[in-house]
Structure 1
Amino acid sequence: MAVDPKVAAVIERWAPRFISNGVPLTDYQEATKAIANWDDWCAAWARRAEIHEAMGMAALDAGKGISAGEHLQTAGVVYHFAKFVFVGDMAQMKASHEKAVRCRDLALPHIDPPGIRVEIPYADASLFGILRKPPGAQSPPVVVMCMGMDSAKEEMASNEAHFLKRGMASLAFDGPGQGEGEYHFAITPEYEKPVAAVIDYLETRDDLDASRIGLWGVSFGGYYAPRAAAFEPRAKACIGISGPFDYGKLFKAQGGNEVFRVRAHCASMEEAYTVAKRIDLTGVAEKISCPLLAIGGELDTLTPPAEQQRMANEASGPSEALILEGGNHCANNLRHMYSPQSADWMAGHLGAG
C-alpha cells in the first residue's frame, strides 16, 4: 500500500466512492498498488483506463454495442479518477479528462437506457451535460444532478440509475469550476445561475416535463443544489448530500484547499478564501420552500453532519436531515442505505412512476 501521505489520505477518504461509482475492484487495487508517490497517481489510473478503452473500441469495431458501452463507460469513470484532484499537473490532468469525456460520450448510445450529450447555453459560452430518459416514459420528470468540487458527469452512472429505474430522467451537468466547466468558468457560489440555465434548456424540450424538476447534489453539489432551490421556483424538490452550510469556516479550519483554489481560478489561498466565504447559506436556507432532504455521514470530517442538519433546520419548507451512523463523506461507504431510499423520496415528490 502507498506510503505517500497524500496518496494514503485520498485512498482512505475515497475508496468507497471509487467502487460505488463504477471502478472495478481490480482496477482500484492495481492502480493504487502501482503508486509510490502522488506524482504517479494520474498515470497509474490512466493505464488501467486504457485497458477498458481498448476493449471498448475493439467491441465498437466488431459491432458489439452492448460490450462497447460497458467497457467505454468503465474507461470513462477510471479516467475521471485519474484526473479528479490531480490539479498540480494541469496538462496531464486535462489529457486524462479529455479521454474520460470521450469514452463516456462513445458509450452513451450503447448503454441502457441510452444517453445523449447536451450543450446548455451559459454566460458567454456553454455548459455540457448528459441526458438520459427512462425507457418508454412519456414526458418524464427530470432530476438535475449537480456535481461536487472534484466530481463530474462521467462519474454519475450509478447515481443516475436509481432515478431512471423509478421513471425519472436524469441530467448530470458540469457547472462552473466542474468537469468540462472548470477551464472556462471559475467556481460560482451563486449556483442558482447555472441551474437556471439548465432549467431554461429543459423547457425547450418537448420530451420532458419541465414542470416536474428535482435538484440533486453531492459533496459541494450538496450546497449547490439547496442554494439553487432557494432562488429557483421551478425546482419542486431537492436532495443535498454532504454539502457545507458555511464553507468559509471549514476552509479556514482545514488550512485551505488547493483543488478549490485552482478551480476557483485564484492566484493565492487568501484570494480563494474570499470565494469560500461566499459559500454560505446563512440567510439563504430559509428561502428553500420546496421539500428538502439533506443527507450526511456521521464520521464526515470534510463537511460534518452539523452542516446538513443546519440546512434542514433552517429551510422554510418541508425538510429532513438523514445522518447515517458510521457514514463517511457523502456516506459512500453506506450508499445502500440512502441511494435507493432518496430516489424513492424524489420519485414521490415529482410524481414519477
Structure 2
Amino acid sequence: MKQLLFPNNIQFWYETLRSMSHIAYGGADFGEVVATGERIVEGDYASWYTEWLATADRVSGEAQRALAAGHRVSARDGFLRASNYYRSAEFFLHGHPCDPRHEHAYDRSVACFRAAAALFTPVITPVAIPYEGTTLPGYLYRVDDSGTPRPTLIMHNGFDGTAEELHFFGAMAGVERGYTVLVFDGPGMPGPRHHQDMVFRPDWENVVTPVVDFAQTLPDVDNDRIALLGISMGGILAPRAAAFEHRLAALVAVDGLYDLGQTSVRNIPGSRQEAERLLRAPSAPDLDAALEAIMAKDPIARWAINHGMYVMGVDTPRAFNASYLDYTLAGGIAEQIRCPTLVCDAEQDMFFNGQPEQLYDHLTCPKTLMLFTAEEGAGAHCHPGAMRLTQARIYDWLDDTLKASA
C-alpha cells in the first residue's frame, strides 16, 4: 500500500495505518488520524508523542463533556478513539531507559478505554486473572447478560500491542458473531510491563494455562469450545502455548511465526551457530557497533531494538537480539500442537516474511494457511487497513472449526 504520509519513514507510516485500521470498530476517525499525522515531524519521536497526545486530550475532553451532558453514545465513541490515540502517543517512547512520559499516556489510554467499556451494553468487564501470586489485566466481552455458555475466544497481543487495542482487532467482531471473548495482557505486554515490571517469557504455556483455568470458571464460556488467538509476536507465543495446553479447541496465529531467532541472526555473517555464540558472548564489540549502525540507518530496527530492550528487560541491543533466540517452535514444539490451527500470512510483511509458511509446514495437526494480499488492502503485517475483511475470514474459520468440534 502506498505511503500516504511519512514517505521516508515506513515505521511511522505503518503505525499511522495501524490507527486508521481501528476505524472499522470505532477506534479512530480518518480525519483525526490524517490531521494528526500532518502535524508530526517525520522520524521525530517527541513530535509523534506531542501531536498524538494533543489529539487524544482533545477527543477525551469532548467525550467527558458529552458524558456529563448525558450523551452516553457520543461519550463512549469519544473515549474509544481517545484510548487508541493515547496508545499511539506513547508507542515510540520505550527504550533503555524509557521516556517517563510513556506512563502518563499509557494510563490515560487505559482510563479512557475503561470509561468507554462501562458504556457498552452489556458492559465490557475489566478482569484480574490469577497468575503466579499476582494477576494479569484483561477484559471480558459477553454477548448478553444471560450467562449462556458460548464458544469463546481468548486473545492476546504481541510485542507492542495492548489488551485495550484488541477491542478493535477481534473482540467486538467476536461479540457480533455470538462469541464470549476474553482478552488479556501477559508478561512483557503493556499492563504487566508498565505496572508490575514483568518482562516476556518464552514458555508461554505457563501464561495461557492460568488464563484457560480462569475462563473455565466463567458461566459465559463453553469449556469445550475455547480457542486461542495471538497477534504479531503472539503468532509464536500462542502456538507455543497450544503445544502444551491441550484444552484448546482451536488456535489462530495472526500472523504465524516459527523462530524469532532468525531475525536476530540474519545480519550477522557466518553460520547460525556462530551468530548465536556472538550474541550470547560476554563481549562482542564489533557486533555491538554493527547493531548501533543498523539502528542509525533503519527506522524499523531503531524502534524494534529500543522497544525490545524494554519488554525483554535487558539493557543492550545485543542482549535483546540474544533474547529472541529463546522464542522458537523448532525442536519438535510445533509438532506437538493438536488442535486445528489457522496460520495467517501477509503478502508484504516487512517484519517476518516467510515465517507463516515455516510454521504451517511444521504443523501435524489439522491446519489452514490463509494469505492476505496487497490487492485486498490487507498485505501488511497483521493486515491493518483491512479489519472487516480480516475478522470475517478468521471468524468464519472459527465458526466452521468450533462447530465441527461441538
Q: Same fold (TM over 0.5)?
A: yes
Task: Report the number of matched residues.
Answer: 350
1:113 Cα deviation from its structure 2 partner: 4.5
AA matched with 1:168: Y
1:64 Cα deviation from its structure 2 partner: 2.4
Q: Which runs of 5+ in 2 are unaligned?
A: 268-290, 292-300
1:112 Cα deviation from its structure 2 partner: 4.5
* Equivalent in the alignment of 2:371: 323
2-structure distance, mates of 1:100, 1:171:
19
2-structure distance, mates of 1:350, 1:192:
21
* Equivalent in the alignment of 2:14: 13
1:33 alignment partner, one of 29, 32, 38: 38
* Equivalent in the alignment of 2:254: 241
2-structure distance, mates of 1:27, 1:226:
36
1-structure distance, mates of 2:66, 2:116:
11
AA matched with 2:93: F
Cα distance change of structure 1 residues 262 and 323 upon mapping to structure 2, 3 Å threshold? same
AA matched with 1:303: F
2-structure distance, mates of 1:336, 1:107:
21
1-structure distance, mates of 2:363, 2:130:
30
1:244 Cα deviation from its structure 2 partner: 2.4
* Equivalent in the alignment of 2:270: none
* Equivalent in the alignment of 2:150: 140
1:213 Cα deviation from its structure 2 partner: 0.8
1:192 lines up with 2:205 in the alignment: yes
* Equivalent in the alignment of 1:344: 396
* Equivalent in the alignment of 1:95: 104
1:3 Cα deviation from its structure 2 partner: 6.5
AA matched with 1:296: D
TM-score by length of 2: 0.81
AA matched with 1:120: I
1-structure distance, mates of 2:132, 2:323:
19
CA deviations on 1:213-261 (whole Å, 9 max, x unpaired) are 1011111111111111111111110111124211111133365622112
Cα distance change of structure 1 residues 56 and 50 upon mapping to structure 2, 3 Å threshold? same
2-structure distance, mates of 1:102, 1:187:
24
1:4 Cα deviation from its structure 2 partner: 9.7
1:1-353 equivalent positions in 2, closer than 5 A: 8-21=9-22, 22-36=27-41, 37-88=44-95, 89-135=98-144, 138-158=148-168, 159-183=170-194, 184-253=197-266, 257-282=305-330, 283-304=332-353, 306-326=354-374, 327-351=379-403
2-structure distance, mates of 1:264, 1:136:
39
SS across alignment from 2:384: helix
More deviation, 114-123/11-20: 11-20
2-structure distance, mates of 1:23, 1:246:
33
AA matched with 2:321: Y
2-structure distance, mates of 1:57, 1:318:
49
Cα distance change of structure 1 residues 303 and 112 upon mapping to structure 2, 3 Å threshold? farther
2-structure distance, mates of 1:84, 1:211:
37
CA deviations on 1:113-166 (whole Å, 9 max, x unpaired) are 420100012123211001111136611122111111111012122321221111
AA matched with 1:261: M
AA matched with 1:124: G
Cα distance change of structure 1 residues 295 and 317 upon mapping to structure 2, 3 Å threshold? same
1:336 Cα deviation from its structure 2 partner: 4.0
CA contact (8 A) 2:122 2:145 kept: no
CA contact (8 A) 2:142 2:220 kept: no
AA matched with 1:16: L
CA contact (8 A) 1:247 1:279 kept: yes
2-structure distance, mates of 1:303, 1:121:
33
1:2 Cα deviation from its structure 2 partner: 7.2
AA matched with 2:113: R
Cα distance change of structure 1 residues 351 and 279 upon mapping to structure 2, 3 Å threshold? same
2-structure distance, mates of 1:91, 1:4:
29
CA RMSD of aligned residues (A): 2.1
CA contact (8 A) 1:189 1:275 kept: no
1:347 Cα deviation from its structure 2 partner: 2.3
Q: Which runs of 5+ in 1 are unaligned?
A: none
